[in-house]
Amino acid sequence: MARWVLANGARTVLEPSFGDGVFLRALAAAGDARVLGAELNPAPFSAAVADGLLRGDDAHGGDFLAWHPPPVDAVIGNPPYVRLRHLPVDQQARALEVAAAAIPEGMQSSGSVWMAFVLHAANALRVGGRMALVLPFELTHVRYARPLWRWLGSAFGALRVVRVHERLFPELLQDVVVLFAEDRGGSTADVGFEALETVASFVSAVPRAASASVSIEALLAGERGFMEALLPRAVHDALLALAPLTVPVRALCSFHIGYVSADKDFFHPDAATCARFSVPEASLVPALTSSRQVQRLRTSTIASETASERRLFLPRSAPNAVLSSADAAYVAHGESLGVHQRYKCRTRQPWFRVPDVRVPDVVLSVFSERPILAINDAGFVATNSLLCGFLKAGTAEALVAAWYTSLTVLGLELQVHALGGGVMVVVPGEAGKVRVVRVAAIPDGHVERLAAALAAGDVAGAYALGDDAILRGVLGVSAETVAAVQEGVRVLARWRDRRGSAVTTD
Ligand SMILES: C[S@@+](CC[C@H](N)C(=O)[O-])C[C@H]1O[C@@H](n2cnc3c(N)ncnc32)[C@H](O)[C@@H]1O
């Protein structure tokens, strides 16, 4: 990165948060440019100045966003990745100010400070200048970064994102990419993208041309261009061939997060507690409350062994009606425990009525790359350990038949974000974009076979059943196309789940 920022003759380089000075050292090794830098933390700041990594006059000890460095030819660095809401208020306010000055939408406080760093550092660049930054992978897909992509496209003549399979920072759980932006003052409609295997190949390949191109317009529309760019040609062809046979699942079913009770034990009293307070049967709604129950779900909640281990306390009276004496006794018990003072309860009216409790048509597990979709024939309500699905078209059986194929798994890999450790978290907005096949006829016994595979704990087997019975059998998709979809799943899963990948030093 240091070689690249210096390659077009930069004389001044800015490092906005130099920390231990790894980039300052790399710059010194790669040339003799004047280096300007900021660092909030006093100890590394003083150490870098004492070590002569930059001159005291060129160094700002404090918030980079409060500093207006002179114009520079290049920027290099790895800014902090801290959510604005976790910053001290003054730093938070400056980040919002910097973002608002650069982009009309400004920035949401749910966003992270790296975005303000990108804008502020890029604004220090002279026309023609370039910038290389290590940024969190979320840059490539989070909604709050979309205005940044529009801005980058209007501020640089060429943009490139590099993702390396081997971890660039093995000690970080956070997945990162490297953004190379050049020709400040130019503009571009596309971002070059390159996926590399090893850190060594990254170091030697930096000046190489990108192998794929992602349209900024598509990023603004919420497409996952940087994920699609990881897929081999044959998988793209397969997705194109299958597109006419598919719909986004949100056309068939709308997914919502389950309810949040605020106090699991109080709102889901066990049998002994119900007996002690004579909680009326009518005030208890069978509920799915734990991921353990979710793992035991089959294709239907009735078929599962989950039958109402837990029930939600939901007194049936209208919001301001008088409670029955038994309900009132249990509510008083909650107050004696201080449940009514919980944050979520305080904002409810009355505090003991859990909002947004609806019986979904289907439920979907959340923490898995092969989530379980089950028909809610038992009429359970569900907490936010599940997504609740409400049918918009077709039957629940048809949705189940459409869901369990590798095409859905590929759609999840493309659309759904993962936590740092690689665990996928299925959220409604992302899940709704997953494309599933349209199934007009369900083969006899197919749903039962899916249930049997799930009952045996073979979730992957259930999805594979759909590849044979639905993709190949009902829709007549070729074996090559199905194999390409399965290959796409493997490729993206390998990028997502990199916990085992160690850094090699060659
Ligand atoms: C991810 S580290 C990167 C350090 C260095 N660029 C590197 O790659 O080794 C982020 C650095 O930003 C510093 N930092 C955090 N907030 C800052 C701010 N508002 N202004 C300047 N530096 C900040 C932290 O102290 C930390 O050293």
Confidence of residue 108 (pLDDT cuts 50, 70, 90): confident
pLDDT value, residue 209: 60
Answer yes or no: is 150 within a domain. yes
Instruction: Fill in the amino acid letter for 485.
Output: V
Ligand 1: atom nearest CA of 38 is 21
Give 345-396 pLDDT, tens digit per residue.
999 989 999 999 999 999 999 988 999 999 998 899 999 989 999 999 999 9
pLDDT band at 318 (very low <50, low <70, confident <90, very high): low
In a domain, residue 271? The reply is no
Rounded Cα distance between 412 and 492, Å, is 10
Other Cβ atoms closer than 10 A to 160: 23
Query: Does pLDDT of 501 surpass 60?
Result: no
Least confident of 1-5, 286-290, 403-407, 471-475: 286-290
Please state the φ and ψ torsions of residue 71, each to the nearest 5 degrees.
Answer: -60, 140
Q: What one-character-per-residue DSSP string does 337-362 give?
A: HTGGGSHHHHTSSSTTS-SS----SE
* pLDDT-derived band at 504, boundaries 50, 70, 90: very low
Report the percent of the chain where pLDDT is more than 90: 78
Task: Please say whether the beta carbons of 368 and 416 come within 8 A.
Answer: no
pLDDT mean over 274-303: 84
Q: At what angle do helices 459-466 and 446-455 cross, to 10 degrees?
A: 160
Burial of 360 (0-12, 13-18, 19+ CB in 10 A): buried
What CATH number does the domain containing 173 carry? 3.40.50.150
Contact residues of ligand 1, CB 6 A cut-off: 17-20, 22-23, 38-41, 44, 63-65, 77-78, 80, 91
Q: How far apart are alpha carbons 155 and 150 in whole angstroms? A: 9
Q: Which ligand 1 atom is nearest residue 15's CA? A: 6
Q: Is residue 11 part of a domain?
A: yes
Range of the domain at 43: 2-226
Average pLDDT over residues 112-125: 97
Average pLDDT over residues 167-183: 88
Q: Is residue 267 part of a domain?
A: no
Does residue 25 carry a pLDDT above 80? yes
Domains identified in the chain, total number = 1
pLDDT at res. 301: 76
Interval 38-71: pLDDT, tens: 999 999 999 999 999 999 999 999 999 999 999 9
Q: How far is CA 469 from CA 211, 402, 462, 484, in A?
A: 37, 11, 11, 17
Pocket test for ligand 1, best of 40, 94, 97 (most atoms within 8 A of CB): 40
- Could you report the per-residue pLDDT of 462-496, keeping only the tens digit for each? 999 999 999 999 999 999 999 999 999 999 999 98
| Mean pLDDT value across residues 401-424 | 92
Q: How confident is the model at residue 503 (pLDDT cuts 50, 70, 90)?
A: very low
124 or 421, higher pLDDT:
124
Q: Give the ligand 1 atom nearest the CA of 20.
A: 9
Q: Which atom of ligand 1 is nearest to the CA of 91?
A: 19
Judged by average pLDDT, the poorest of 9-13, 304-308, 405-409 is 304-308
pLDDT at 295: 72
Ligand 1, atom 19: closest residue by C-alpha:
63
Q: Considering the domain boundaries, does residue 133 fall inside one?
A: yes
* Ligand 1 centroid to residue 38 C-alpha, Å: 8
305 found inside a domain: no
Q: What is the reported pLDDT for 473? A: 96
pLDDT mean over 447-473: 94
Asked whether the beta carbons of 43 and 102 are under 8 A apart, the reply is: no
> What is the 160 CA–ligand 1 centroid distance (Å)?
23
Q: Residue 202: inside a domain, yes or no?
A: yes
Distance of CA 4 from the midpoint of ligand 1 (Å): 21
Give the chain's length: 506
500 pLDDT above the threshold of 60: no
pLDDT at 502: 40
Whole-number mean pLDDT of the chain? Answer: 91
**CA 485 from centroid of its chain's CA atoms:** 22
Instruction: Encode pLDDT of 196-214 as tens digits.
Output: 989 998 888 755 666 899 9
Using a cut of 0.85, tell me whether the model's pTM lies above it.
yes
What is the pLDDT, as a whole number, of residue 227?
Answer: 93
Question: Are the beta carbons of 287 and 311 closer than 8 angstroms?
Answer: yes
Question: Is 356 among the domain residues?
Answer: no
CA of 52 relative to ligand 1 center, distance in Å: 18
One DSSP character per residue, 441-459 reads -PPTTHHHHHHHHHHTT-H
**Residue found under tokens 């599933």:** 436
Over pLDDT 70: what percentage of the chain? 95
Mean pLDDT value across residues 311-332: 84
